């Protein structure tokens, strides 16, 4: 089975912390193994013919309502993760064994009132998160569902110098 092309987004606030959303899991087989680990950074699929940076900005807006950002960095390589056995053939409509992600880091340049995970796009997009907060980048692997931890460790390594830029 192939990997699904996807983007991931690390949005940093002025204190050098990243946005994490609490993922809604009802009926989501990818999250069936989460067992309490429901926090993650925004991510989503790349549409056919879509540039990864454009996909990152689109997914960020669709999931968080955030559009006030400036690009800080792009991870140097694709980051992969495999689905756990119990989600294979179920998650992603059974088409993929995991994701191949292109990660981008952005500085959040807006006001926090812009962030709306419950009705992103004024309700135009389905809510994927039911809560959000700012978190230290280094803590994100401990918050994510276990099968995605190695990918998040690579994201932390790729963007490790960014929080220091804010201090």
CATH classification code of 3-165:
3.90.79.10
Which sequence spans correspond to the domains of the chain?
A: 3-165
| Three-state secondary structure string covering the chain | CCEEEEEEEEEECCCCCEEEEEECCCCCHHHCCCCCCCEECCEEECCCCCCHHHHHHHHHHHHHCCCCEEEEEECCCCEEEECCHHHCCCHHHHCCCEEEEEEEEEEECCCHHHCCCCCHHHHCCCCCEEEEEEECHHHHHHHCCHHHHHHHHHHHHHCCCHHHHCC
The answer to pTM > 0.75 is yes
Tens-place pLDDT, residues 138-159:
999 999 989 999 999 999 999 9
> Residue ranges of the chain with pLDDT lower than 70?
25-36, 87-93, 167
């Amino acid at each position: 089975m192939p990997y699904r092309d996807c983007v991931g987004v690390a949005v940093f606030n002025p204190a050098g912390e990243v946005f994490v959303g609490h993922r809604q899991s009802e009926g989501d087989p990818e999250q069936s193994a989460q067992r309490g680990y429901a926090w993650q950074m925004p991510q989503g699929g790349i549409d056919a013919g879509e540039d990864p940076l454009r996909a990152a900005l689109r997914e960020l807006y669709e999931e968080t309502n955030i559009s006030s950002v400036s690009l800080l960095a792009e991870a140097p390589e694709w980051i992969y993760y495999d689905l756990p056995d119990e989600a294979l053939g179920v998650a992603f409509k059974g088409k993929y064994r995991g994701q191949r992600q292109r990660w981008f880091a952005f500085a959040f340049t807006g006001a926090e009132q812009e962030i709306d995970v419950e009705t992103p796009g004024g309700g135009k997009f389905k809510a994927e998160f039911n809560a959000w907060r700012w978190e230290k980048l280094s803590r994100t692997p401990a918050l994510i569902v276990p099968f995605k931890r190695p990918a998040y460790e690579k994201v932390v390594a790729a963007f490790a110098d960014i929080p220091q830029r804010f201090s």
